[in-house]
Chain A
Amino acid sequence: TQLLEQSPQFLSIQEGENLTVYCNSSSVFSSLQWYRQEPGEGPVLLVTVVTGGEVKKLKRLTFQFGDARKDSSLHITAAQPGDTGLYLCAGGIRAQSNTGRRALTFGSGTRLQVQP
């Protein structure tokens, strides 16, 4: 069972279009991170959101954390071919102690292809 579900799984759009990727869960997360991964490379951290309702912007990318901290969205304005990649959300669960630490749980991923 996937703790974090992303939608859509695959998206192919033309350069200049807008898009939104969703990350949903039934669990509450203390924080949520978004990564982008290109083929043959490791994921690269884009942003971390920690407060319910928080909105962060990174150039043409807008990230939002749901009020209940169970979901998040990534909106890209005027997509460019350089935005092509696998977008992964990942949730952190607050540890009770150092020995009880949990690592990130990754979403199922959204593969974005932006055609020139």
Chain B
Amino acid sequence: DTEVTQTPKHLVMGMTNKKSLKCEQHMGHRAMYWYKQKAKKPPELMFVYSYEKLSINESVPSRFSPECPNSSLLNLHLHALQPEDSALYLCASSQHRTGTGDDEQYFGPGTRLTVT
């Protein structure tokens, strides 16, 4: 099983709403990632979790709050978002091979988020 699943596939939310994006993998990967991708642009890294601990936060605003409940799940909690946060949010996972920073990443299909 090389699948990363994400729910929901589409989400429309108002600026005062609170919502969560979910990501799941069952490949035994110990690194999980959140990316944001605007139209016609490459993915931009937001967060990296290694062994369920946050290891990288790329200066993401606090209105995005990640959570890794266990080694298979990754959530992204959203609160008080702005219209410019509308984008495709991608989750990825990889093996955590000690001593290397070049793990192959497997991506989910993404959640298309629209903030109104």
Contact = CB atoms under 8 A, between A and B. Distances in A.
Residue among A41, A95, A102 with max Cβ neighbours from chain B (10 Å): A95
Contacts of B105: 33, 45, 90, 103-104
A34 B110 CA distance: 19
A40 B112 contact: yes
Interface residues of B, number: 33
B43 interface: yes
Contact of B56 (A30, A41, A103): A103
A101 B31 contact: yes
Interface in A60-108: 88, 90-95, 97-104, 106-108
A31 interface: yes
Given A30-B101, A99-B50, 15 more contacts: A29-B102, A31-B102, A33-B105, A41-B109, A43-B43, A43-B107, A88-B42, A92-B101, A93-B101, A97-B99, A98-B50, A101-B31, A103-B48, A103-B101, A111-B40
Interface of A: 29-31, 33, 35, 40-45, 48, 50, 88, 90-95, 97-104, 106-109, 111
Contacts, number: 87
B110 A45 contact: no
B64 interface: no
Contacts of A31: 100, 102
Interface in B1-42: 4, 6, 31, 33, 40-42
Contact of A44 (B48, B101, B107): B107
